[in-house]
Structure formats: C-alpha cells, structure tokens
Amino acid sequence: MIQLAAKGSGVRTRGRALIAARTLRTDRWWAYPLTTFIVLLAFIAYATYAAIANRDYYAAPYLSPFYSPCLSFHCGTVPGSAGAPHLGWFGTWWIVTPAVIILIFPLGFRLTCYYYRKAYYRSWWLSPPACAVPEPHRRYTGETRFPLLGQNVHRYFFYAALAFNVILTWDAIAAFDFGGHIGIGVGTAVLVINAVLLWLYSLSCHACRHAVGGRINHFSKHPIRYRAWTFVSRLNPYHGNFAWLSLVWVALTDLYIRLVASGVIHDPRVF
Amino acid sequence: MADQEARHLRVWRGDKTGGGLVDYTVDAHEGEVVLDVLHRLQATQAGDLAIRWNCKAGKCGSCSAEINGRPKLMCMTRLSALPDGPVTITPLRTYPVIRDLVTDVSVNYGWALRVPSFDPPDGLKPGEYRMAQADVDRSQEFRKCIECWLCQDVCHVIRDHDDNKPAYAGPRYFIRHAELDMHPLDARDRRAVLRDRQGLGLCNITKCCTEVCPAGIKITDNAIIPMKERSADQRYDPLGQVLRSWRRREDRPPAG
C-alpha cells in the first residue's frame, strides 16, 4: 500500500521513508526492559521495606549490609539487633532507621552507574525501550541539564562505594567470629559472597577504569597504571552481570540475616 | 534451510513523496545473505529497485538498511539467521530517503568536517612520530569503523528527535574524538568541543550503537563513556582538578 508523506516527528519526520509501523522489529524486544523493570521494582520495594523496618538486622555475628556501618546508638536496642556493633556517630538523637544514613551512598553509586543508566533509561523512562523502537517523549535533552547532569558525579559515589566495600569486607571477616571462636556458618558464606560480588561490581566500574589509567594517554610511561587499567578492562565487560548479581545478592543477604535474626530460620554451622 | 526455497520479502519502495512495503517472493539459496536475494529480485522482478552496495564483504559500509526493523548490513545478514516468515527490508529510518533503500546520509559528512583534525605537538614533523603499541591500541580499535552509519541510524537521540541533528555529532564521531583524544601524539584538548558543541551530553549510553556495530567496536564502553569521564575531569570534578594540579607532571598538554 502506497502512503503519501505527511508532516510527523521521529521516524515519521517528513522526508524519511514513510512507514506506518513505529517499529518493524519482530523479536521479543520488550523482554529486556520488562524484566529490568520488574527486577528493579522488586529490589526497590524490598530495600524500602528492609530500610524502614528498623529491626531484625543483626544475628551474631552477622550484620545486614543494609545497616552497616551502624552509625546510631539505637543499633542493638531494637528487636532482632541485640549486640549489633555501632559507631555511634549520630548519637542518640537519631531515632529513625539508621539504614537511611548510609543507603544514600550505595544507592547513589548504582543510580549514577553507567550500566544501570542504560537499564533504567530503557525500562523506566523508555528512552528508548529498545534499539530501533521509538521512545514516547516529544523532547529529549539527555544528560545535558539538571537533574541528569548530576550523573557526572558518579566517580564520587564510586569512591564512597570503595569505603563501603572495605566495611562490608570487615563484616564478612567478622562473620567468622563466633564468640571468640573461628567458625563458618551459612551466613558467613553469604556475607563473603556478598563482599566479593560488591568488589567485582565496583572494580569493573567505568569510573574505576578511568581513574586507574583510562585518563592517561601514555600507557608506556605508566606501566603500573597500565597494568591496573588492563585488569579493570578485563572485568569491565562483565560490569552489568556484576551489577545484577551484587544487587540481588545484597538483598538476599539482608533477607537471610533478617530470617535468622527474627528466629524464622536457624543458621546452620559448617563447623 | 533447504538448498533452495522461496522467501517472502517485504521491501520498502518509494521516495520522499511517499511509498510503502511491497511484497515479493524470491528464490533464496543456502548460505545467501539478504543482499543476494535483493540482487536476484532486482534481476528478475524489480529492475528499478534502488540499492546502495559495493564490497559485499562487510568492509565498505554501503548496504546499510533495516531488516525486520533492526539496522544491519544487508551483505552480512544471512537469511538462515532470520526467523521463518516474511523478511521486511526498509531504508535507514533516521535519514531522508532518496529512493527505495537508498537514503541521504550526507549530514554525517558535514559532521566529519567539524571534528578537529590530528594535531601533533609543535616541532614534531611527519616521519618523526614515534609511539609505543600500548599507547595506540585504544585508538586503533576505532579505526575499524567502516562508516556504515548504523550506529547513527539506531541512536534515538536523532532517530526519535530530528531537532537534535544540528547539535549531535553521534556515536561515529564520538569514537573519532576518542581516537584522537587518546592518541599519544595528539596535543589538542577536544573535551570542550565534544561536550559543548557536538552533543556528548545528549548521549544517555543505552548502548544501541554498540549493539548494531558490524565492526564490533565497543563504542559505548571504550569511547563514549571514557570521553564522558574525561569531560567530567575537566568540568565536573573540582576535587580531582585540585589533586591533579598538585602533580608536577601533566600527562595531558594544556588545552589549545
């Protein structure tokens, strides 16, 4: 059927091949954005619940990553947190959940992450939902204006994420300490895997790749930085995989500790 | 796929005044690519079908089109790799159509003129360039570009927003900037031009350019994101600027 040109926008802009269908893709292009939308929504729902619950986050020697480091004196005083270590920096005046003090940093790291940007621009903002599938927005300014201009602070969140990785690694090491005796429980393995995945996610980050060597032009004059850049470059293609694995695992880690702390399940000891 | 079978093609025929998908049935042989059957169509049923092509080997970048809605090279798309059923072939949907499967991609050559050329340090003459392989590995990846414009075609910044075309150089020219900016003997600072006049900030890194690149260039990970980070060094990282200003040796020469 022959159609005559008319003024339009996007792929229907005057002068372009006049095709009625917005996309002619016949594959399941909607599967990635739909799956991403559902997984991210599930994580946001669970993380919100876990953060505001303000209980059941410590079962000695396991501390939930959602509450580490615990900066309020109230840590340890709510149900399911007896004995939780805390730094007390926020004194006793901080009465709401201490999780909100720290979650801004890992949240900011993931929100500005180059991989997650692709994921949520496609699945939440449909910009575009998939390659060669038109987006619904009339105007588009990308990351040139506030608030998306703020994506450029990703490196600062990366530095903060490194500090959190150190803390969560310490938590994983502390998970071997069963009242002065070294032991391993299922929770120990859960926390170790959590720390490893978070390190892999952080070290494969594009900002990390840039910081360790990507910004220099003379690799031959900086052999150590070149080796570091090469190492990060090998991890970098898997950044998206590490992003999903670490996201899901951190939620499962909290869930496991929550179930143990609330007495729903018992933590099996390996030895 | 049998040794020979009839394939149902839906080919867009028309020009800027209008057009539509026209159905054809064409014999296809085992191992053939889309361009092969279009040539058979041209030879047997539609002698006036306009197609741009040249090398038939994925090296010239001429036969770009959209096959079943996805930007691809027609010479590198085997029919056996496509699902059974009709194969829909249209021109690139980001550019003005000239006729049938041929589009006007000249806007890209305008952008090519606006990328500042290689600028060696003062006093270094041609023939005196010396550099280590490690220093040029990154730039050499971008030299694989065959200028097929599939990355430009798929990029939603201009595909869905024609008004962005004057402000957005696009993925092909972002890798050209990256190629030169990462070059050990290029003395020009390209970050401000790329960010302020060629639309680097418009890219929201959804990676479609990388998905469609027939040369396998990691456009987003190896060019666009590194250039966004380099741009952030200059404009959005005051702490880093202070720290780097304390260092005696500057890896990057002064802007200019």
ipTM for this prediction: 0.92
- pLDDT, average across residues B6-14: 97
Round to whole Å and give the CA distance between A150 and B227.
16
Round to whole Å and give the CA distance between B224 and B228.
6
Q: State the pLDDT at residue A102.
A: 82
Angle, vertex CA A259, rays to CA A258 and CA A264, nearest 5: 145
Cβ-based neighbours of A90, under 8 Å, separated by 6 or more: A71, A72, A73, A98, A101
Amino acid code (one letter) for A19: I
Q: State the pLDDT at residue B249.
A: 53
Distance to chain A for B220, nearest Cα, Å: 10
Query: Each residue of B98-146: pLDDT tens digit?
Result: 999 999 999 999 999 999 999 999 999 889 999 999 999 999 999 999 9
Q: State the pLDDT at residue A78.
A: 83
Q: Can the peptide bond before residue A61 be classed as cis, meaning omega within 30 degrees of 0?
A: yes
Round to whole Å and give the CA distance between A103 and A68.
9
Distance to chain B for A138, nearest Cα, Å: 8
- pLDDT, average across residues B234-256: 71
The answer to whether residue A26 neighbours chain B at the CB level (below 8 Å) is yes
Distance to chain B for A240, nearest Cα, Å: 12
DSSP A108-137: HHHHS-HHHHHHHHHHTS-SSSBTTB--S-
Cβ contact (<8 Å) for B225 and A206?
A: yes
Q: Are the beta carbons of A88 and A72 closer than 8 angstroms?
A: yes
Cβ-based neighbours of B127, under 8 Å, separated by 6 or more: none
pLDDT greater than 70 at residue B255: no
Point out the residue among A14, A140, A217 whose CB comes nearest to the CB of B182.
A217
Joined together, the tokens standing for residue A52 give 């505001």
Q: State the pLDDT at residue A9.
A: 81
Cβ-based neighbours of A130, under 8 Å, separated by 6 or more: A25, A29, A30, A32, A33, A122
Residue of A nearest to B157 (CA): A140
pLDDT greater than 70 at residue B44: yes
Joined together, the tokens standing for residue A92 give 């006793």
Residue contacts between A and B (CB atoms, under 8 Å) = 186
Cβ-based neighbours of B247, under 8 Å, separated by 6 or more: none
Chain A residue numbers with beta carbons less than 8 Å from the beta carbon of B205 are 114, 117-118, 121
DSSP chain A: --EE----SGGG-TTB---SSS----S-TTHHHHHHHHHHHHHHHHHHHHHHH--S-EETTEE-GGG-S--STTTTTSTT-TT-----TTTTT--S-THHHHHHHHHHHHHS-HHHHHHHHHHTS-SSSBTTB--S-S---TTSSTTGGGGGGHHHHHHHHHHHHHHHHHHHHHTTEETTEE--BHHHHHHHHHHHHHHHHHHT-HHHHIIIIIT-S-GGG-HHHHHHHHHHHHHGGGHHHHHHHHHHHHHHHHHHHHHHHTTSS---B--
Cβ contact (<8 Å) for B161 and A139?
A: yes
Round to whole Å and give the CA distance between A11 and B169.
18
Distance to chain B for A251, nearest Cα, Å: 26
Query: Each residue of B168-179: pLDDT tens digit?
Result: 999 999 999 999
Structural domains of chain B ordered from first start: 4-103 (3.10.20.30), 107-245 (1.10.1060.10)
Distance to chain A for B166, nearest Cα, Å: 13
Q: State the pLDDT at residue A88.
A: 64
Rounded to 10 deg, the angle between the B238-245 and B225-235 helix axes is 80
pLDDT band at B13, cuts 50/70/90? very high
Query: Each residue of A205-249: pLDDT tens digit?
Result: 999 999 999 999 999 999 999 999 999 999 999 999 999 999 999
pLDDT greater than 80 at residue B10: yes
Residue of A nearest to B189 (CA): A217
Cβ contact (<8 Å) for B212 and A131?
A: yes
Cβ contact (<8 Å) for B226 and A214?
A: yes
Q: State the pLDDT at residue A6.
A: 45
Please report, for chain A, the start and end positions of each structural domain, with discontinuous segments joined by +.
Answer: 10-261
The answer to whether residue A22 neighbours chain B at the CB level (below 8 Å) is no
Point out the residue among A18, A24, A207 whose CB comes nearest to the CB of B66.
A24
Percentage of chain B exceeding pLDDT 90: 89
The pTM for the full model equals: 0.93
- Residue corresponding to tokens 């056996």: B80
For chain A positions 235-254, those within 8 Å of chain B (CB to CB) are 236-237
- Residue corresponding to tokens 């927003």: B161
Round to whole Å and give the CA distance between A57 and A82.
9
Distance to chain B for A19, nearest Cα, Å: 7
- Residue corresponding to tokens 């991609």: B105
The answer to whether residue A38 neighbours chain B at the CB level (below 8 Å) is no
- For chain A, residues with pLDDT lower than 50 are 1-2, 4-6
- What is the three-class DSSP state of B237? coil
Q: State the pLDDT at residue B256.
A: 33
Point out the residue among A10, A27, A117 whose CB comes nearest to the CB of B205.
A117
- Residue corresponding to tokens 């840590």: A75
Cβ contact (<8 Å) for A26 and B20?
A: no
